[in-house]
């Protein structure tokens, strides 16, 4: 059919018509809220993150209270990042059973019905700020796998529903799956940061958790932003190793990658709307260049590209809107 028989504007003529024909919808259960919990903070000591307006570092008590409040507003899931009181070269605090993440997870499972996810990495816990063990100035892969497995297991023992390795070491999903299964945690899910690019959009996050590398960069283990075929290989490898959920990170600058991964793999897919994507929108809104409607549109685009789950600092802004 052609004009004048076919008139596409008929499909948009009223809010009611547009609503019933809408192809992509956001729901609160699509959202995962990342939370930063610091071992150095006491109850009531909430620290604003300057590079991420509206985001905070919490004590364990305050993180649980905030998560519970957001659950009452419709939030279903949180992703916990820990900040220890002390660091060392081996990230020892990351797998401490009494560590900040482990204590937060226990409290959340006791006091809420949220799906509790945990970030599994070394960078916030190492004195050098890298995501792996460093030997003679190099980030060594295989030696890091044992530490990652210990971290993931400690999170599962605390009650985490989902562990999410973000380090980008080769073979880490298989190592973690074996560790969990051997310890009887066959039902703990792995959400793999399968496609994680070496992105400039992480800068505010590294300030938030004090995880900038002390030397070099992370380009030897995080992906080249120019590559998409490599993303599909990474995703397939992680699925073969036992990943239950795949993730693409960042999201807005990589919508094409999300689409390609969705097209190739019919498995649960998450996308991380990262700190830089959050902060640049917040800055534009504050300056009057954009309105709050840009938040909804940007998150909708991630869902439309193919993501089932969206990790976003915008989650609290959206709960009352979607």
pLDDT in tens, the chain (322 residues): 899 999 999 999 999 999 999 999 999 999 999 999 999 999 999 999 999 999 999 999 999 999 999 999 999 999 999 999 999 999 999 999 999 999 999 999 999 999 999 999 999 999 888 889 999 988 999 999 999 999 999 999 999 999 999 999 999 999 999 999 999 999 999 999 999 999 999 999 877 776 677 676 788 899 999 999 999 999 999 999 999 999 999 999 999 999 999 999 999 999 999 999 999 999 999 999 999 999 999 999 999 999 999 999 999 999 989 9
Q: Report all structural domains of the chain as residue ranges with CATH numbers, in order of start.
A: 27-317 (3.20.20.70)
Known binder of ligand: residue 131? Answer: yes
Cα 212 from chain centroid? 17
**Residue 114 CB neighbours (<10 A):** 20
| Placement of tokens 């509206």 in the chain | 54
Q: Is 46 exposed, middle or buried (0-12, 13-18, 19+ CB in 10 A)?
A: middle
Q: Which of 6, 87, 109, 196 is catalytic?
A: 196
Active site residue 13: no
- Position 216 scores a pLDDT of 66
Total Cβ atoms within 10 A of residue 29: 14
6, 13, 40, 249: the active-site residue: 249
Answer yes or no: is 234 a known binding residue: yes
Residue 282 bears catalytic tag: no
Query: Quick one: pLDDT at residue 56?
Result: 96
Report whether 263 belongs to an annotated binding site.
Answer: no
The answer to whether 303 touches 252, Cβ cutoff 8 Å, is no
Assigned token pair, 186:
């066959």
- Are 276 and 204 in contact, with CB atoms under 8 Å apart? yes
Q: Is 66 annotated as a binding residue?
A: no
Q: What's the alpha-carbon Rg for the chain, to the nearest Å? A: 20
């Amino acid at each position: 059919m052609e004009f004048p028989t076919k008139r596409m504007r008929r499909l948009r003529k009223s809010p009611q018509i547009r609503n019933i024909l809408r192809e992509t919808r956001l729901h609160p259960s699509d959202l995962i809220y990342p939370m930063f919990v610091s071992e150095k903070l006491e109850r009531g000591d909430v620290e604003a993150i300057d590079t991420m307006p509206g985001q905070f570092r919490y004590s364990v008590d305050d993180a649980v209270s905030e998560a519970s409040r957001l659950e009452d507003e419709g939030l279903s899931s949180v992703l916990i990042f820990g900040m220890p009181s002390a660091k060392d070269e081996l990230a020892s605090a990351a797998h401490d059973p009494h560590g900040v993440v482990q204590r937060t997870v226990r409290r959340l499972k006791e006091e809420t019905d949220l799906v509790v996810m945990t970030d599994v990495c070394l960078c916030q816990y190492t004195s050098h700020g890298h995501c792996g063990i460093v030997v003679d100035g190099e980030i060594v892969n295989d030696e890091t796998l044992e530490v990652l497995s210990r971290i993931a297991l400690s999170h599962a023992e605390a009650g985490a529903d989902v562990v999410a390795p973000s380090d980008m070491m080769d073979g880490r999903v298989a190592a973690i799956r074996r560790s969990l299964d051997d310890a009887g945690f066959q039902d703990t899910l792995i959400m793999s940061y399968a496609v994680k690019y070496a992105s400039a959009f992480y800068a505010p996050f590294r300030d938030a958790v004090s995880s900038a590398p002390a030397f070099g960069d992370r380009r030897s283990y995080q992906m080249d932003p120019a590559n998409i075929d490599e993303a599909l290989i990474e995703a397939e490898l992680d699925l073969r190793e036992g990943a239950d959920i795949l993730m693409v990170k960042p999201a807005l600058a990589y919508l094409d990658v999300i689409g390609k991964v969705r097209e190739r793999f019919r498995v649960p897919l998450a996308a991380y709307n990262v700190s830089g994507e959050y902060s640049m929108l917040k800055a534009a809104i504050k300056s009057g260049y954009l309105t709050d409607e840009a938040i909804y549109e940007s998150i909708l685009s991630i869902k439309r590209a193919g993501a089932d789950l969206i990790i976003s600092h915008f989650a609290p802004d959206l709960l009352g809107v979607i």
